[in-house]
């Protein structure tokens, strides 16, 4: 009799735990199919920021922009390994950075301290015959 009563309470306790865990907000937000597009977007951005911050601390996200690019996280290998970014070393070595960085540099969002390297590194990808035009854009955007 005493044993049955104990089992009864253990079952009740287990049920309460299961209900509690299934209502935790975290277990819901981790289920992608239940997330709204807005929640997925926020999740995506928070993951991106987390990856960049962790790699930045290890000096493994070295970008050439004022605000680090996102493209390199999934573009590697090519501009780094794993989720790293090597656009900065590509730029100073006369090699083109990732496509996002090329676009952002031409919009004027590159790190201005690197401006002397931009035109040649971009021309390495789009064609050296465009070097003069690219240099004109860089001179204008980083005056
Ligand atoms: Zn980049």
Task: Assess if residue 54 is contained within a domain.
Answer: no
116 vs 127: CA distance, rounded Å: 18
Q: How far is the CA of 38 from the centre of ligand 1 (A)?
A: 25
Neighbours of 101 (CB within 10 A): 28
pTM across the whole model: 0.74
* Host domain of residue 95: 59-143
Task: Assess if residue 137 is contained within a domain.
Answer: yes
Task: Assess if residue 34 is contained within a domain.
Answer: no
55 vs 51: CA distance, rounded Å: 6
* Per-residue model confidence (pLDDT) at position 111: 98
**83 falls in which pLDDT band (50, 70, 90)?**
confident
Q: How far is the CA of 34 from the centre of ligand 1 (A)?
A: 32
Work out how many domains the chain is built from and give that number: 1
Give the tens place of pLDDT for each residue, 25-59: 655 446 889 999 999 999 999 999 999 999 999 98
Q: How far is the CA of 23 from the centre of ligand 1 (A)?
A: 40
- DSSP state for residue 34 in the 8-state scheme: G
Task: Assess if residue 108 is contained within a domain.
Answer: yes
- DSSP state for residue 64 in the 8-state scheme: S
* Per-residue model confidence (pLDDT) at position 79: 63
Q: How far is the CA of 28 from the centre of ligand 1 (A)?
A: 33
Task: Assess if residue 42 is contained within a domain.
Answer: no
Give the tens place of pLDDT for each residue, 95-113: 999 999 999 999 999 999 9
Task: Assess if residue 70 is contained within a domain.
Answer: yes
């Amino acid at each position: 009799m005493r044993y049955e009563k104990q089992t009864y309470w253990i079952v009740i306790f287990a049920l309460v735990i299961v209900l509690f865990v299934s209502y935790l907000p975290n277990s819901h937000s981790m289920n992608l199919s239940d997330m709204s597009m807005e929640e997925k977007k926020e999740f995506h951005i928070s993951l991106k920021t987390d990856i960049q911050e962790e790699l930045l601390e290890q000096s493994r996200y070295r970008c050439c922009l004022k605000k680090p690019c996102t493209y390199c996280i999934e573009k590697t290998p090519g501009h780094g390994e794993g989720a790293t970014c090597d656009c900065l070393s590509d730029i100073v070595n006369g090699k083109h950075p990732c496509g996002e960085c090329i676009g952002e540099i031409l919009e004027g969002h590159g790190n201005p301290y690197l401006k002397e390297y931009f035109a040649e590194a971009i021309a390495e990808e789009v064609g050296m015959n465009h070097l003069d035009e690219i240099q004109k854009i860089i001179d204008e955007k980083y005056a």
